[in-house]
Amino acid sequence: MGATAAASLLGRTVTIASVRGRMLTTDESIRVLVTIHPSYLLRLEDAHDKAVQYRHFVQDIERARQAVQAAGSAPA
């Protein structure tokens, strides 16, 4: 999720740069992962920056997938 969604769920302002790719927990004990909004990738003009940011975005999504998979295999 991006900064606006993160702030809404976490109840506090966060910056993407400080928490990107990290699993955070809401007051309701819900785990969330903060990342860039995908449209950010479309707005990047520099090809190198776009490639770097895309790789980070894919890593973030993979981290979220792993967390969901791990939660699904955890005992209830």
Mean pLDDT, range 12-21, rounded to an integer: 90
The pLDDT value given to residue 57? 96
Contact yes or no for 27/11 (Cβ under 8 A)? yes
What is the spatial distance between Cα 73 and Cα 65, in angstroms, rounded to a whole number?
13
**Global model pTM greater than 0.75:** yes
pLDDT per residue over 41-70, tens digit each? 999 999 999 999 999 999 999 999 999 999
pLDDT band of residue 4 (cuts 50, 70, 90) is confident
The pLDDT value given to residue 3? 81
Q: Where are the domains of the chain?
A: 3-73
